[in-house]
Every structure is written in structure tokens, then in C-alpha cells.
Amino acid sequence: MALPGQSRTPAPSSVRAELVEAFSRAPSVDSAELVEAAAPLVRGDRPTGIESMDWAALRQAVVDCRACKLCERRRQTVFGVGNERAHWMVVGEAPGEQEDIQGEPFVGKSGQLLDNMLRALGLGRHDAAGDPARQVYIANTLKCRPPGNRNPEPDELAQCEPFLVRQIELVQPKILLAMGRFAVQSLLRSSEPVGRLRGRVHRYHGVPLIVTYHPAYLLRNPEDKARAWDDLCLAAETAGV
């Protein structure tokens, strides 16, 4: 899935700085303005070659990445997991401690909740040979753990984004689930709260995208689990499951 308007030329560092600035302004600018300001920059800011990498090359590029300061304290990178042709793709935020130890996204407490929610829909992450319609590919906006699980910083999101974009291009999911505000910020270029974006179908380069709460938020706010379940049902309906 080629992304429209994508530039093949690496952007100069001034463009990178502008992108970082656009991300850091996110909470205070109108989302439409942000889309206009940041989207072309993101596409132009891809490190050379990522846009044409296959799975093996992309995985290695993530392992080798030293583009931001998160590389200094990571135990390992956390690439993604699941059937590479899965119809479903979940995008979370960043690895936590357990993910940093095990090298797989969503394996801590949030991951257990996510797996339970997915299982309730008949979906799984570990059956590479299974029916792609019943499989999920899971990735994060950041591939390295922020120290102490702090929020991702704008430059980290900007540097890591090309890896996620390429993962989505390779999987070609039929439905995207953006969990939490950083996934939403990355994929929709929106600073609107999750609560205002959920409940309808968005699009990411033509792919239907459903916004929902991050499992870590749901662990702290169990009263919103019913809304998250509604979001998953909307996703299933949209995906034709």
C-alpha cells in the first residue's frame, strides 16, 4: 500500500526540526491545522530506504536504530508481533518494562487486558499460519521504552514514525485500532481527546481506523471498559467480522 504524496527524498534537518515543532504544538493547535502542517513533513522525513524495506530489513533497521536518545537505555527494541497479513492491526504507545525485557509489545498487565478483549472477539496474535481475518498484528508508536514509562517526546515520535508507517504498509490491515492518545496523535494527527474521537470510523490512508482507550487507561478507569467494548464491536462491524 503506497501512501499518497509520499516523498522518496530524505528531508533536510530544518524539516525535521519543523516536524518536531509541529508535534510539540499538538496539544494547543487545531487538529486540522496540525494535519496540514505536519503530514507532508512526516512523509518527507523518512530516513532513506525505510519506505521500500521488506520485513527482515525493517526489523533489522529497528534493532540498529540509534536515531533518538531512547536507544541508550533500552534493553532491546520492541518491533511488533502477529500475523504479517493480519486483517486487524492494533497500534499502542510504547514498550513498558515487561516489553523491554521480553521484546514483544503488550505483554504486561495492559497486554493481558488487550488479549482478553481481543479473545472475546475471537482474535489472537500468535497464530502466524491462522486465518488472517482472525489475526491481529500489534505494534507501537515507539519501538523503545521511555525511561520510567514517561510519555513519548515529540522528537522520539517523529524519529520512530517511519517504522510504524512501513509496518502498516506491509501488513495492509483491513482495520486499524488506535489505542490511546499517542497512537491517535501519530495516525490521525489529532490532539482531540480519545473520548471525543471514539465511536466513529476514521481513515488512515483509506484504511478504516477506530479510536479507543489505551488498556492502561482502562486498568485505571474500569468504568470505561464498556465503551472500549463498544469500540471493538464497531471495529468488528467495520471490518465485516
Kindly indicate which of the ranges 61-69, 99-107, 169-177, 220-228 contains the residues binding ligand URA, using the contact rule CB under 6 A.
99-107
Nearest residue (CB) to ligand URA, 37 versus 91: 91
- Pick out residues in 105-124 that bind ligand URA (CB under 6 A): 105-106, 108, 110-111
Distance of alpha carbon 170 from the chain centroid: 14
Identify which of 42, 24, 167 has the alpha carbon closest to the alpha carbon of residue 92: 167
Instruction: Indicate the residue whose CB is closest to ligand URA.
Output: 92
- Single residue of 44, 82, 96, 146 touching ligand URA by CB under 6 A: 96
Kindly indicate which of the ranges 60-68, 92-100, 203-211, 233-241 contains the residues binding ligand URA, using the contact rule CB under 6 A.
92-100
Return all residues near 236 (Cβ < 8 A) that are at least 6 apart: 121
Q: How far is the CB of 145 from ligand URA (least distance, A)?
A: 9
The size of the interface with ligand URA (CB under 6 A), counted in residues, is: 13
- Pick out residues in 206-235 that bind ligand URA (CB under 6 A): 216
Nearest residue (CB) to ligand URA, 158 versus 216: 216
Distance, in Å, from the CA atom of 102 to the CA atom of 99, rounded to the nearest integer, reads 5
Q: Which helix (H) or strand (E) holds 92?
A: strand 88-92
Helices (H), the chain: 13-24, 31-44, 55-64, 97-102, 109-120, 154-171, 181-188, 194-197, 215-220, 225-239
Q: How far is the CB of 142 from ligand URA (least distance, A)?
A: 8
Nearest residue (CB) to ligand URA, 105 versus 162: 105
Contacts of range 110-113, beta carbons closer than 8 Å, 24 or more positions apart? 110/214, 110/215, 110/216, 110/219, 111/215, 113/215, 113/218, 113/219
Nearest residue (CB) to ligand URA, 101 versus 241: 101
> If you count DSSP H runs as helices and E runs as strands, how many of each does the chain have, helices first?
10, 6
Kindly indicate which of the ranges 58-66, 68-76, 91-99, 204-212 contains the residues binding ligand URA, using the contact rule CB under 6 A.
91-99
Distance, in Å, from the CA atom of 99 to the CA atom of 79, rounded to the nearest integer, reads 10
Is 92 a binder of ligand URA (CB under 6 A)?
Answer: yes
Query: Which residues sit at the interface with ligand URA, rule CB under 6 A?
Result: 92-96, 99, 105-106, 108, 110-111, 140, 216
